[in-house]
């Protein structure tokens, strides 16, 4: 509430902090999607000794401080994500995807960035309600396209059921890494129909 992050209004904060409390010596955090920087400030406050990085398609440098650094990159571009990883050259304790919420964006980012999560680290993939058709239509109908073989929520549920990470947006070598290095996927929804405020916490082995 102090930082007005929508993670509070979605109901995510209590879920995340159960996991955050178990994280030790957190040094580097990445969030995709910056907005006005509310969540970056929250993360900086919760982990005062960590460096917090943000990626957005727009200039958000007004959020920069000694512990917060922002960059202009497109999350569905492997070329952009590669440039960011080469520039920072670090492993992340926590990555949070609060970006554009399309299936392509979510799946490309997970497939490409999971290698940069440290052992035992967390990859949080937010706002999975855009995978549900009713929410997809309610929010404008542009999150799911005919080029998506599977929604992100179904992709994660399929992994939980079968240990297969099926996605036409994830490269074969990325799929192998995900299937070998994901320890668990926890999915939380505020509603029984998973059509509002749905998030996931993916833990690396």
| Enzyme catalytic residues | 101
Q: What one-character-per-residue DSSP string does the chain give?
A: -TT--HHHHTT-HHHHHHHHTT--S--EEEEE--TTSHHHHHHHHHSTTSEEEEEESS--GGG--SSEEEEE--TT-HHHHHHHHHHH---EEEEEE-S---HHHHHHHHHHHGGGEEEEEEEEE--GGGGSHHHHHHTTS-SS-TT-SS-HHHHHHHHHHHS----TTS-HHHHHHHHHHEEEEEEEESSTTS-SSEEEEEEE-
Sign of the Cα pseudo-torsion (53, 59, 63, 67, in order) = positive
């Amino acid at each position: 509430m102090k930082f007005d992050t929508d993670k509070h209004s979605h109901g995510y904060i209590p879920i995340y902090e159960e996991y955050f409390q178990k994280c030790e010596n957190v040094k580097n955090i990445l969030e995709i999607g910056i907005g006005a920087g509310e969540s970056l400030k929250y993360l900086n406050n919760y982990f005062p000794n960590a460096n917090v990085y943000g990626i957005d398609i727009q200039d958000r440098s007004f959020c920069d401080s000694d512990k917060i650094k922002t960059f202009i990159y497109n999350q569905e571009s492997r070329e952009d994500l590669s440039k960011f990883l080469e520039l920072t050259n670090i492993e992340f304790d926590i990555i949070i995807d609060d970006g554009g919420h399309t299936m392509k964006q979510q799946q490309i980012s997970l497939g490409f960035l999971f290698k940069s999560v440290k052992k035992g680290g967390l990859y949080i993939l937010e706002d999975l309600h855009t995978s549900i058709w009713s929410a997809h239509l309610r929010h404008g109908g542009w999150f799911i396209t005919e080029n998506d073989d599977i929604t992100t929520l179904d992709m994660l549920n399929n992994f939980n059921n079968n240990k297969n990470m099926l996605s036409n947006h994830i490269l074969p070598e990325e799929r192998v890494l995900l299937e070998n290095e994901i320890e668990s996927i926890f999915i939380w929804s505020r509603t029984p129909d998973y059509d509002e405020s749905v998030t996931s916490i993916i833990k690396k082995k």
